[in-house]
Structure 1
Amino acid sequence: MSQCEVCGNEYAMAFTVEAQGARHVFDSFECAIHKMAPICEHCGVKIVGHGVEADGRFFCGAHCALSKGAKGLVDHV
C-alpha cells in the first residue's frame, strides 16, 4: 500500500504522477488536484481544465487573463 502525500491515507489503489522531474503519490484525483493544479492569477480558482497561459501566467479562462492585461485571448462558448 502507498500513502497519499496530501491526506496521508494509505490506499492499495494509490497512483503516482510524475511531473517536472518529481514523483507524487495520491489516493484520489481530489488530492492530486489540491497539490498540483495551478491557480488562476485573477480569481484564485484551481485550474482543473485547460485554462490559458499569457505572459507566463496561468488563468482559468480568457476573461480572467484579459482582466489582468493579457491581449488577444477569446473565450469560446
Structure 2
Amino acid sequence: MDPNGLSDPYVKFRLGPQKYRSKTVPKTLSPQWRQQFDLHMDDESGVLDVSVWDQDTGRRDDFIGRSAHRFC
C-alpha cells in the first residue's frame, strides 16, 4: 500500500510456461481490470497461479496476495 492509503494493483497469471500480466489500475483499493486473457491448456491438468502486486515507482513492487487453482 502506498503512503496515500491506496495501491496501484496489477495481476500476474501463470499456467505452465504461459505468463500474462494485467494493466495497472492506479490509486485504488477496488480495482476493476475489465480485461480478457486466453489461456491454453496442453494437458488435461494444470495449475493456474494468480498473484496480485502493488506497482511502486523507484522501488520493488509490493506483493499483495496469491492464489493457485488446479485443473483436473
TM-score w.r.t. length of structure 1? 0.27
Larger Rg: 1
Name whichever structure is richer in helix by fraction. Answer: 1
Q: Which has the higher contact order (CA 8 A, sep 6+)?
A: 2
TM-score of the aligned structures, taking structure 2 as reference length = 0.28
Greater strand proportion: 2
